[in-house]
Amino acid sequence: MRIFTILLIGMILGCSQNNTQKPQIIKSLNYQALNYFSLYETAVQQNDFTSAVELLKLANDADSTNIYLKEEMMTFLFDLGYFDARIQPTILSFGKQYLEQDATSPLILKILFLVATNLIDVPTTLIVAEKMAEEDKDQLFYERLGDIYLINNDVENAQKAYDAREIKDPTTNAIIAYFYYYAQNDSLATIYLQKEIDENKEPAPDIFIFDSYINEKTNNIEQIIKNLKIAKKLYPENPSILNTFGYFIADYQLSEMYPKAENMILKALASEPENTTIWDSLAWLYFQQQEYKKALSAMQKVIENEITHSEIAYHLGEIFLKLNKLDDAKKYLNLAVQINDDEKTVLLSQKLIKINFEE
């Protein structure tokens, strides 16, 4: 899923201030805060970060209106462990205190926005977003803000945030489609997948593949074929598109398209000869044409590798049944049930086991 996977290197580098701001901080401190700050610097040099945080907090308490100390606290914690799940709540806690005190700066807001979105703190994110200056609202800002709105089921504002990006890649429709696909909200995923196909001249290959998977659940083969024809025209060499298209032709027994399916699957195999999923598609196509020996031959590459999908194990069980190799058939049908990652093929496997192997 795409949410919060963007690398933050550029923004992190932009936040760091520890080396350049120290003289300015020291000049601004009162006597008591300066003592704590000196002890803080010593603790940092000794890698005693727990004490460093406590001493910096004491310095903040001693000079509560000093914005430089607050920035130092935020950047120190940020540099110490932005990607550390144990430290992020501490950064958030200090940042929210500064918000309540109305003691913030562009730097504090930027760090707080990053941490609040990372921890999916929706209220804090939205407050900080309102306070941030326009010049600080970059590509990453709008992507993260859009993600937060989506998580909060506010699609309208999510769209506005994504549309405000300077670089719209992926598109707004694609982002929303991916979000709902991975959230297993098939009805909304279908809407935005189709919007992406209809409105984008060149949707990503995954858009078509995800669309076909969802439409398969409702047996909407007409829509699957229609969209995969568009995909093949856009990506005539893409092995995933070719394999997906060929497999659905086989699985839905569209016999008039079998020759086309074989050509597509063989072309996919030419690109990825070690891909067991594509070999499975070829075997299933031969199975549907009642060419069971050819189907088993196509499955040899599959058999040589660990089988991790119920559907592939089920296909092998079906093939062995047709070849009257009952022990092997039972083995793979049971394996399909054991793997249990696809409800449809598990039920089909259980049915075949009951018919053929239970008295």
Rg of the chain over Cα atoms, rounded to whole angstroms, equals: 29
Q: For residue 219, give the DSSP letter.
A: T
Res 224: pLDDT:
97
* Confidence (pLDDT) at 84: 75
Position 59 scores a pLDDT of 94
pLDDT of residue 81: 75
For residue 58, give both structure tokens. Answer: 């004491």
CATH level 3 topology of 1-166:
1.25.40
49: tokens are 């970060």
Q: Which residues of the chain have pLDDT under 70?
A: 1-22, 82-83, 359
For 158, list phi and psi in degrees, rounded to 5.
Answer: -60, -45
Q: Which amino acid is at 284?
A: W
Instruction: Report CA-CA distances (Å) from 26 to 30, 61, 63, 160.
Output: 9, 15, 12, 43
pTM attached to this predicted model: 0.83
What is the reported pLDDT for 21? 61
Provide the pLDDT for residue 25.
80
Burial label, 283 (beta-carbon count in 10 A; 0-12, 13-18, 19+): buried
Which DSSP string corresponds to 110-147? HHHHHHHHHTT-HHHHHHHHHHS-GGG--HHHHHHHHH
Q: What's the token pair of residue 321?
A: 């049944």
